[in-house]
Amino acid sequence: MSTSKGLTILGATGTIGVNTLDVVARHPDKFHVVALSANNNVEKLLTQCLEVGPSYAVMADETAAQQLQEQLSRAGSATKVLAGSTALEKIASLPEVDYVMAAIVGAAGLLPNLAAAKAGKRVLLANKESLVMSGKLFMDAIHDNGAEILPIDSEHNAIYQSMPVPHDGKHLNQGVTRILLTASGGPFRSRALSTLADVTPAEAVAHPNWVMGQKISVDSATMMNKGLEVIEACWLFDVETDQIQVVIHPQSMIHSMVSYNDGSVLAQLGNPDMRTPIAYGLAYPERIDSGVEQLDIFDVAHLDFERPDFDRYPCLRLAYEAHRAGGNATVALNAANEVAVEAFLDQQIRFTDIPLVIEKVLEQAASGTSDRLNDILAQDLSSRHAAQDALKRLN
């Protein structure tokens, strides 16, 4: 009887998806790809489908899906192409799927990720927005349906590896006192504050250590990425906001740390390569070859640490404030950030306008927290409208 695990990759053409396929290709006896999804990159998803032969491919865009189906059919592929959000939920919950790599960027990943949780899958979570928007709802879906959640973000994966076993959410009873969440500081860590308004999109997406998509790279430059990770860590590890300390660590070799009440601090180190946490999540509790080069401590030579400056990184401050305010505020935070980052990449606003847009939207967010999906989606939509209004006022 085959022990190969069926895998759906949501966001297959992005960095996480590409790296997941790389790890899977190294272990054809352990994993097989059932379904892939992409937004509108027909050419790249076509290549991936022809290489791994999934049963299904899903594109968010209907026209792109038709193009993909035509090209796959001409190539003799039996892969069936579907389109839209409902199709994403379908491939996340197929009976033949064991694991779901949740790597769609932004709020678009929420519904298929919830579908995977409700179907009892192992959710390999590389989409922090699911927990930022619907933390309690999402974690309840995991627990109530016998699903499993393995964090794929390098920081949360490092925390997971450094936490006591079992991972049952009772870490405070096992001596955990604090999480030290590391951050590179992005490309503008030492740039003069007075020049940040002049930052270009090309400069903002040039991350010093990691290869990532444009949106996540901008989030890293503003440190909103780290703010979203703070919120995600609170839900994943059942800790309070004030128990998470962000630590700027420019080398990105220590991926995060956990502090214990006996004075111990456990850290996970490795080269900055997403295949390490991907392989960990796929094989857990075993370890498998990821293709990542071993870390040479002597090459690293030294490790630096700094406290984050909220004047330089106002988005990080806003994330802490939003989580303390409640779930509706974190939905608004994420929605406003997505709108503002897109506007910055389109050169509609300045880099320093991003937190200004977010702050305006947070002022209008409903108070408290909702556990109803419709309310969460309504808050997301109203916050996007508020962000668009804020953009108009800036211009």
Tally of CB atoms within 10 A around 311:
8
C-beta of residue 219 within 8 angstroms of C-beta of residue 132: no
Residues 78-110: tens digit of each pLDDT: 999 999 999 999 999 999 999 999 999 888 999
- Is 82 a member of any domain? yes
Q: Say what the pTM is.
A: 0.92
pLDDT at 210 over 70: no
Q: Check residue 1 and give its pLDDT.
A: 44
Give the mean model confidence (pLDDT) for residues 237-266. Answer: 95
How confident is the prediction for the chain on average, in pLDDT?
A: 94
Residues 39-60: tens digit of each pLDDT: 999 999 999 999 999 999 999 9
- Is 93 a member of any domain? yes
- Is 77 a member of any domain? yes
- Is 251 a member of any domain? no
Give the mean model confidence (pLDDT) for residues 64-68. Answer: 96
How many structural domains are present in the chain? 1
Q: DSSP letter for 214, please.
A: H
Q: Check residue 174 and give its pLDDT.
A: 85
Q: Which domain holds residue 142?
A: 5-151
CATH number of the domain residue 43 falls in = 3.40.50.720
pLDDT at 173 over 80: no
- Is 159 a member of any domain? no
Q: H or E element: which one contains 105? A: none
Q: Which two tokens stand for residue 220?
A: 């890293």
Q: Check residue 73 and give its pLDDT.
A: 96
- Is 140 a member of any domain? yes
- Is 168 a member of any domain? no
Minimum mean pLDDT range among 42-56, 153-167, 340-354 = 153-167
- Is 92 a member of any domain? yes
